[in-house]
Structure 1
């Protein structure tokens, strides 16, 4: 059953800044979907749009169907009910998301009180249970955010996201500010809790390796569009779009000396969403761009089973990439 169905989503900020341009995504109940891309590609804007958390003046089009209901046409009372209980979000940078003058236990208990029929005592008990679920002592409920480490604060954010037993958890770069050891612990925790509670997960990251380990499917965004999507491990190991491949090769891989000593990466930056180039937005940085890429944008097309990529080098359905995606590389 499809839990989240995003159809032709567009988000334009004041000043005609097209941050998201016609995104289509589907997430089944209990599934884990990763969204990857560099900073400025529209990932966080997509996450905020899903729960109508964008700033005033932002124009949003398309549909966001959550369990069959369009979030964009809901009355505000219904949106408030959906947040936390239907879908919740874990923001990057927990120190900026937690209230510094309230104890963390009270902050976890707050959505339980607002969205359920729990008494204050029951809400505090639920907060203690959630802290223990995320690997913290219940006694930490009395702590203020500044008294916790970065990893502990992120665990508190995860506890808050799970407080009302939502169907969907959106994790926006949940490990960005953490060291690699704590990052691994948080990722394992998220994966474990999602599996145990049957929650769907939409995880946003710039790190394809993290998403390939954590998620079932992977969507790669560039300049506000999804330019490739498919099984997470397949997209990570053999991306069909040159941007997806460059993003994957920017990270060294265990057991691959060539990638460890000379990760390729990609020069330049994503385009300004207020001044997108004509044709394919990626062509100014693309190592295999053709003349037609300068004038014609590319739509997603099939490339193997349950896989799509928006690239001129992707041939007929099922044929795979029609040309090497990186000079000297294989297809």
Structure 2
């Protein structure tokens, strides 16, 4: 049995905005799954849904099975027990997630006191051990959040997530606003801790390169759905879906002046969740869209070994998307040279 099974997850906010639409994912213990996509694609909503942290008024459907138990149907007492001890989350923006008027050691010790019913002395000792585990001296437990750097605060958030030895960690943009050196340190730290403790990791980011370097598998989301999934490095280097290709090409290649001075992006924005286009939701921005893309939705299908993509150009069981799909028959997508190569992967 997988550590985590997400089956047909639906999340709709008040007003009818469908932020997550029929997502299926699985994760084994010790595995690292990356979830990528632009802002507004449903990544953070998915992360919050995994621990039932959505705001009041949000409606959910489907199943979220954590060690076989459905998080969406758990009683409140059981859900409180699962949070921290079964699964924990590292939010983006540590300064806003930490309590500014409490010392960081007390904040790390709080879940230990609650879930392990430890004594104050044992909880403080555990907090010091966790700080050392994430590369900070135990003496920093007496510091307030404003006395720490951004990278140090993020390490405190990771220490809190590890406090009760969870089986699953969800990291939502854990390196946002950090400089590249600290970002690399935090990513290596998370990667090492996952390997040492055999926990499952879901890491959310808009940066495919970061996820390709850190994760085993990668899922690309668009308009609330997974449009591509497979081994992380393969999805980054050779995406089967035009949107995945656009994401990977949005970042300049080091040592390539052409990509530096003429970065490739993707015009437009993801659709409003309350007004998702008919057919394939990506077709208004797709440079290789066909007429059928505007009327027929595309389900995930085999796109090579252990890979799936939701694109009309991916035939069931095919190893590659057929080339030369651009040209006549397009349905109003962006120009072929804007953000995605003129031929599909």
Alignment of 1:100-111 (within 5 A): 100-111=100-111
Question: SS where residue 2 of structure 1 aligns?
Answer: coil
Q: Relative to 1, partners in 2 of residues 1:136 and 1:319: Cα closer, same or farther, differing over 3 Å?
A: closer
**In the alignment, is residue 49 of structure 1 matched against residue 49 of structure 2?**
yes
Secondary structure of 2:3 counterpart = strand
From the superposition, tell whether residues 159 and 37 of structure 1 become closer, same or farther in structure 2 (CA, over 3 Å): same
Name the TM-score, length of structure 2 as normaliser: 0.94
Deviations 1:100-154 (A, max 9, x none): 1110000000000100031110000000000011111111101111111111100
Deviations 1:59-92 (A, max 9, x none): 0000000010000010000000000000000000
TM-aligned CA deviation for residue 327 of structure 1 = 4.6
Taking structure 1 as the reference length, the TM-score comes to 0.98
1-structure distance, mates of 2:21, 2:319: 27
Q: Quick check: 2:104–2:143 contact (8 Å CA) kept in 1?
A: yes
Aligned length: 331
What is the CA distance between 1:324 and its match in structure 2?
Answer: 4.9
Q: Does structure 1 retain, via aligned residues, the 8 Å contact 2:103–2:145?
A: yes
The answer for unaligned runs of 5 or more in structure 2 is 326-339
Distance 1:142 1:239, change over 3 A: same
Question: Contact 1:305/1:318 (CA < 8 Å) preserved in 2?
Answer: no
Q: Distance in 2 between matches of 1:197 and 1:261?
A: 43
* More deviation, 153-162/254-263: 254-263
Give 1:262-301 correspondences, 5 Å limit: 262-301=262-301
> Alpha-carbon deviations, 1:35-73, whole Å to 9, x = none?
000000000000000000001111000000001000001
Q: Could you tell me how far apart the structure 1 residues matched to 2:272 and 2:324 are? A: 28
Structure 1 gaps of 5+ residues are none
Mapped pair 1:134 → 2:148: no
CA RMSD of aligned residues (A): 1.2
